[in-house]
Amino acid sequence: MSRRALSDLPPDTFDDGRDAQAGERADDEPEVALAADDGPEIDFDFEPGAVQAGTEVIRRFWSTLPPSPGVYRMLNARGDVLYVGKAKNLKARVGSYARGQAHSNRIARMISQTAAMEFVTTATETEALLLEANLIKQLKPRFNVLMRDDKSFPYILVTDDGPAPQIVKHRGARRRKGNYYGPFASVWAVNRTVNALQRAFLLRTCTDSYYENRTRPCLLYQIKRCSGPCTGEISSDDYRVMADSARAFLAGKSNAVKDRMRTEMQEASEAMEFERAARFRDRIAALSAIQGVQGVNTQGVEEADVFALDEQAGQFCIEVFFFRNFQNWGNRAYFPKADRTMTADEVLGSFIGQFYDDKPAPRLVLTSHAVEDAELVAAALSSRVEHRVEIHRPSRSERKNLVDYAQRNAKEALARRLADTASQGKLLAALGQAFGLERAPRRIEVYDNSHIMGTNAVGGMIVAGPTGFMKTHYRTFNIKSEELTPGDDYGMMREVLQRRFKRLVKEAPRTPAEAAVAAAEGGAPEPVPEAASAEDAEVFPAWPDLVLIDGGKGQLDAARVALEAVGVADVPLVGVAKGRDRDAGRETFFVPDRPPFRLPPRDPTLYFVQRLRDEAHRFAIGSHRAKRKREMTRNPLDEIAGIGPSRKRALLHHFGTVKAIERAAYEDLARAPGVNAATARAVYDFFHAGA
């Protein structure tokens, strides 16, 4: 629908976005819309009629919306979520999409693809903001700002669920009782800090099972990295005091802890206890090392996260620095996916909301740009923690220096990424030319298998694209077929590729024939349309443009048979056979309907293929080793129906080992604490089924 057509609608068709009681605007502009005077006219790289159809859809939903806070989702004809937004007034916000204002090209595309909408009302706008961030991370709508790296941060945990607190690095859900300190930007930063804290407070890092079975102190005690609570080398009370000191130091009371150590060192020196005084001296030095090894020194910022954004060539980089206890605990660069028409303020505000969706916010958040709805975002973050969160854009003093430092890092990180992307683009173009492709591949999939004499067989798939290895797209395949001969590499490759492409045809059909098959099997009802715009072209494709197989002609034939079995015949396949004596640089390439060939030595394209092949090999071997380790440590009790963690623990506590449980008579099993007659019978029958 054109701008004029919208303006010709009756004046009472839409709410004008004004609060009737207050007589002023009530959050009526969508987050991504531009003001009518500043925004561009719609640039139609799609059918104008599609915009009109999308507007009609929005109008139907708008008519029944309440003027309350909530979250709305815009969906396309396939049911995929296009955009997630929050609003203080759902009726005003949704109505603004079809009032006839000059939307940006992105908003017009979004409206043109909208076939349905979904809504969730909330009690407050703060709740709406939190829900919006959660849904964006889960659904990954294409028109929102998306975090590309969703990996959790490591923390330091000082446990409080046993007789002797343990200090360990931790990542993931906080199920264990204790105090968590962080986040740290990398595992390296955690390891360095834990090592220094070991020297300073002599806390144990061993597991509980190791701790409970010690009869003499371990090597860490001998090198003065642990106080030996496992064998009573230190009393429980004294050990608790040291653990409390470690908690106080990590909580920000570092000066008080160091002052107390200096006092005790002085007292020991005056009492002629020079060895004890030397121990305090070494502990103070260890604490000083933690505070001294920093990229940025802070004097007035005890606890803060610093967010700095840089934009170049239509791409964004956000550098995040973590400061705790007046210390720099590392930094990490993010490259969020955002439309080129979005402002830096919009990108940064949306990013911060998603960033703290699964982690607590510090008391202070410093930003390089003004965050949209900063007070609302701060209130939402404060509701999740036990302190007030402040979002501030500094203009002077030490805080401004920290932001400037972070922004320089963001600028440099984005420049490196752009350079790497350009180099990657050249390699992809050369790869496409070497293998006779019509254009440079945007998605490359590489497959490899790993096993030992057919046991614990695993297939691995790695993915590479314009930005390098796409690790979120990696997949592992546990070989399931019982008909395969152990060690049949060809059969394994056929199974892996059949499962991969059968699912791909079902979830992302490209042709009417594939769509019909998918619909018959309960998959997608219609084919995915081809990219119609630059925006669509930037979406990472689901289908590979090139498939590399780690193997020679036999593996290539197996792969071709697998794809033909699921009706796929147009995906380019290349077999990469290792050279003589498995030397890198002598690889032979097998392409269907083409004689085997090699690439010239020292050819950058050859090195690129080697990198891809080696990454697939690494990933497959790592998956195989992880599976083999799980098999080696698997407890037979896990295979018995009705035996949960509590009963398994009761049996092991009573009998000591699985072997003892296996040899036990039914009467002995029934007498074990926490085990009833039915459980005893199930356990006995499991171990004596063949008797």
* pLDDT at residue 6, rounded to an integer: 35
* pLDDT at residue 446, rounded to an integer: 95
Interatomic CA distance for residues 282 and 289, integer angstroms: 11
The number of C-alpha atoms within 13 Å of 327 and in the hemisphere containing its C-beta is 26
Q: Quote the DSSP letter at residue 173.
A: -
* pLDDT at residue 296, rounded to an integer: 56
* pLDDT at residue 543, rounded to an integer: 93
pLDDT of 475 > 90? The answer is: yes
* Pick from 74-88, 107-121, 305-319, 619-633: least confident: 619-633
CB 435 within 8 A of CB 587: no
Q: Quote the DSSP letter at residue 123.
A: S
Mean pLDDT along residues 640-661: 80
Which residue pairs from 678-683 have beta carbons closer than 8 angstroms and sit at least 24 positions apart in sequence?
Answer: 678/642, 679/642, 679/643, 679/647, 682/640, 682/641, 682/642, 682/643, 683/637, 683/640, 683/643, 683/651
Please give the single-letter amino acid code of residue 659.
K
3-state SS, residue 88: coil
Which of the listed CATH numbers 3.30.1120.80, 3.30.230.10, 3.30.70.2970, 3.40.1440.10 matches domain 3-130? 3.40.1440.10
Band (pLDDT 50/70/90 cuts) for residue 319 is very high
Q: Backbone phi, then psi, for 648, in 5-degree steps?
A: -60, -40
**Percentages of the chain per state (helix, strand, coil), in multiples of 5:** 45, 15, 40
Interatomic CA distance for residues 414 and 690, integer angstroms: 65
* pLDDT at residue 290, rounded to an integer: 61
Q: What is the fold of 304-416? A: Nucleotidyltransferase; domain 5 (3.30.420)
Interatomic CA distance for residues 308 and 332, integer angstroms: 11
Residue 397: in which H helix or E strand, if any? helix 397-434
CATH number of 435-626: 3.30.420.340
Interatomic CA distance for residues 461 and 447, integer angstroms: 5
Comparing CA positions, the residue from 317, 267, 325, 327 lying closest to residue 292 is: 327
pLDDT of 536 > 50? The answer is: no
* pLDDT at residue 585, rounded to an integer: 65
Comparing CA positions, the residue from 388, 393, 390, 376 lying closest to residue 308 is: 393
* pLDDT at residue 531, rounded to an integer: 40
Q: Report the share of the chain in percent with pLDDT over 70.
A: 83
* Pick from 308-317, 588-597, 650-659: least confident: 650-659
3-state SS, residue 165: coil
Interatomic CA distance for residues 542 and 540, integer angstroms: 7
Tokens at 185, concatenated:
């930007």
> Residues 78-119: pLDDT tens digits?
888 999 999 888 988 888 887 756 567 788 888 888 889 999
Q: Are strands 573-577 and 546-550 parallel, antiparallel or unpaired?
A: parallel
> Residues 222-239: pLDDT tens digits?
888 898 999 888 888 889
Q: What is the fold of 636-687? A: DNA polymerase; domain 1 (1.10.150)
643 to each of 636, 653, 654, 673, how far by Cα in Å?
A: 10, 14, 15, 14
Mean pLDDT along residues 370-390: 87
* pLDDT at residue 38, rounded to an integer: 35
pLDDT of 506 > 70? The answer is: yes
350 to each of 80, 358, 501, 604, how far by Cα in Å?
A: 20, 15, 35, 40
> Residues 545-554: pLDDT tens digits?
999 998 888 9
Neighbour-count burial of 94, counting CB atoms closer than 10 A to its CB (0-12 exposed, 13-18 middle, 19+ buried): buried
The number of C-alpha atoms within 13 Å of 543 and in the hemisphere containing its C-beta is 24
Higher pLDDT, 465 or 528: 465
pLDDT of 291 > 60? The answer is: no
Buried residues in 624-653 as b, exposed as e (16+ CB within 10 A): beebbeeeeeeeebeebeebeeebbebbbe
* pLDDT at residue 278, rounded to an integer: 80
> Which residue shows structure tokens 């264990």?
176
Where do the structural domains in the chain lie, given as residue ranges?
3-130, 155-292, 304-416, 435-626, 636-687
Q: How high does pLDDT run on average in the chain?
A: 80
Interatomic CA distance for residues 482 and 500, integer angstroms: 18
Interatomic CA distance for residues 580 and 564, integer angstroms: 31
Tally Cβ neighbours within 10 Å of residue 486: 12
Mean pLDDT along residues 558-568: 90
Q: Give me Rg for the CA atoms of the chain.
A: 31
pLDDT of 162 > 50? The answer is: yes
Higher pLDDT, 126 or 99: 126
Band (pLDDT 50/70/90 cuts) for residue 391 is very high
Tally Cβ neighbours within 10 Å of residue 489: 18
> Residues 351-371: pLDDT tens digits?
998 888 878 888 899 999 998
Tokens at 656, concatenated:
């000591």
Band (pLDDT 50/70/90 cuts) for residue 22 is very low
pLDDT of 448 > 80? The answer is: yes
Comparing CA positions, the residue from 670, 668, 666, 671 lying closest to residue 688 is: 666
* Pick from 5-9, 252-256, 300-304, 487-491: least confident: 5-9
Interatomic CA distance for residues 119 and 102, integer angstroms: 25
Domains 304-416 and 636-687 share a fold: no
CB 398 within 8 A of CB 298: yes
Interatomic CA distance for residues 172 and 426, integer angstroms: 38
List all residues 6 or more positions away from 623 whose beta carbon is below 8 Å from its beta carbon.
450, 458, 460, 476
155 to each of 170, 189, 305, how far by Cα in Å?
A: 5, 10, 15
Q: Backbone phi, then psi, for 276, in 5-degree steps?
A: -65, -40
* Pick from 107-121, 269-283, 523-537: least confident: 523-537
Q: Report the share of the chain in percent with pLDDT over 90.
A: 19
Band (pLDDT 50/70/90 cuts) for residue 661 is confident
> Dihedral of CA 297/301/302/305: which sign?
negative
